[in-house]
């Protein structure tokens, strides 16, 4: 029930939890600044070093949140990881050059959970009120910002900084200054005695969290997402899995269409669930030679919730579950959610890979990249 919070409360916050994925494997090359801060000279998907000098395994480590385009990452082991992954009372937001992790009180979580059963019948005003109630019980706990030279007076940086009471410079490197932001005042929340202890434990861990930051030069991203070259040679033709209804699905699902748009999402991902009604409309209006399917990252453990989200959104397209073959083909290479790829009839990934959910003109947005993929496969 706690995971409903990500659907309701944070859908407007462009939440995307970054996952460790596969990339070109290189040696972990590290330099140190005059202040003794460790900097990775390039992104390395196997192992990297935190600013405090601790080597961290990246590949296959779900407690490391990073992406080659961010220029930084965070090892989430400890109290913060527990609140995110085990207790589900924390949630995250990732922007182009920043990351924020929020803490929500049990009162806020209960508010979100109570409204979920009636979500399909809620008016926009009622939905907005639920969001407001939950966000009133939510505080930005910690954040990281990569401030590039010349951006010091930007509105984006100002707005981000206003969410925090404290700020510390972590390092200057490669034309950017990296900041650690934090809040040590949670008095605006309605906290139980147990939650007050939890919050105090989190605050006491801030120095450790700062030491767990990973810094490296950001890689350029195309179209506000990973370029398709990241997935060059990736094929889904040999996948075998089941959908949410238990039906067996193989790579043959692509054979009848020139292009299949594959939306990779999760029930806890705000932008994923927020764009689901738009994807439902995209699916209904696709050309006959184009299909849309989904892969739900946590569909195995949250099958009922995934079905409820689809039903409430009017989404009628097929949604696949993870399996060993699906993981090996694509899921182990996904950096963030939502991610959308385009697949030809032979199961090969083509065109441009997109990360994040568009805010406006959703159908036109996706059709632009569908047409690019169609042009690529049809010449």
Q: Break the chain into its structural domains and give their ranges.
A: 4-215, 228-378
Contact 45, 24 (CB under 8 A): yes
Neighbours of 155 (CB within 10 A): 8
Q: Please confirm whether the linkage preceding 338 is cis (ω < 30° from 0).
A: yes
SS3 assignment, position 340: strand
| Residue-wise DSSP of 197-249 | HHHHHHHHTHHHHHHTEEE-PPPP-BTTB--GGGGTT-B-TT-EEEBTTS-EE
Query: Rounded CA gap, 118 and 72, in Å?
Result: 40
Q: What does the chain come to in residues?
A: 379
* Angle at CA of residue 190, ends 189 and 191, nearest 5°: 100
| pTM exceeds 0.75 | no
Whether domain 228-378 has CATH 3.20.20.70: the reply is: no
pLDDT tens-place values along the chain, 379 residues long: 233 333 333 333 333 344 433 333 345 789 998 889 999 999 888 899 999 999 998 876 778 888 777 899 999 888 888 887 777 677 777 777 888 888 989 898 887 766 655 666 777 787 778 778 888 999 999 999 999 998 888 888 998 999 999 999 999 998 999 999 999 999 999 999 999 999 999 999 999 999 999 999 987 643 333 333 356 678 999 999 999 999 999 999 999 999 999 999 988 777 788 899 999 999 999 999 999 999 998 898 889 889 989 998 899 999 999 999 998 899 877 767 788 999 999 999 999 888 878 877 889 999 999 999 999 998 7
* Angle at CA of residue 164, ends 159 and 169, nearest 5°: 95
């Amino acid at each position: 029930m706690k995971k409903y919070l990500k659907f309701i409360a944070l859908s407007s916050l462009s939440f995307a939890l970054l996952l460790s994925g596969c990339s070109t494997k290189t040696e972990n090359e590290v330099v140190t600044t005059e202040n003794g801060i460790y900097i990775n000279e390039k992104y390395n998907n196997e192992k990297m070093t935190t600013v405090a000098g601790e080597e961290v395994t990246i590949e296959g480590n779900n407690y490391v949140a990073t992406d080659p385009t961010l220029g930084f990452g965070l090892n989430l082991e400890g109290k913060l990881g527990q609140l995110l992954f085990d207790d589900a009372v924390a949630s995250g937001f990732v922007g182009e050059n920043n990351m924020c992790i929020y803490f929500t009180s049990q009162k806020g979580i209960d508010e979100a959970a109570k409204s979920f059963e009636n979500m399909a019948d809620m008016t926009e005003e009622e939905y907005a009120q639920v969001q407001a109630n939950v966000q009133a019980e939510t505080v930005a706990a910690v954040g990281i910002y990569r401030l590039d030279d010349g951006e010091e007076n930007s509105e984006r940086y100002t707005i981000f900084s206003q969410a925090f009471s404290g700020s510390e410079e972590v390092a200057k490197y490669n034309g950017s200054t990296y900041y650690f932001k934090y809040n040590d005042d949670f008095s605006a929340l309605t906290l139980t005695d147990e939650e007050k202890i939890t919050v105090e434990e989190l605050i006491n861990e801030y120095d450790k969290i700062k030491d767990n930051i990973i810094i490296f030069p950001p890689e350029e991203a195309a179209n506000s997402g990973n370029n398709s070259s990241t997935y060059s040679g990736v094929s889904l033709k040999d996948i075998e899995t089941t959908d949410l209804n238990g039906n067996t699905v193989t790579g043959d699902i692509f054979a009848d269409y020139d292009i299949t748009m594959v939306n990779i999402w999760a029930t806890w991902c705000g932008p994923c669930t927020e764009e689901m009604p738009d994807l439902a409309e995209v699916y209904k209006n696709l050309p006959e030679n184009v299909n849309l399917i989904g892969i739900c990252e946590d569909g195995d453990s949250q099958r009922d919730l995934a079905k409820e989200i689809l039903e409430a959104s009017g989404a009628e397209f097929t949604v696949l579950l993870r399996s060993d073959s699906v993981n090996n083909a694509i899921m182990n290479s996904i950096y963030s959610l939502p991610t959308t790829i385009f697949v030809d009839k032979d199961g090969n990934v083509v065109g441009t890979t997109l990360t994040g959910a568009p805010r406006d003109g959703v159908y036109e947005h996706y059709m632009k990249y569908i047409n690019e993929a169609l042009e690529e496969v049809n010449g």
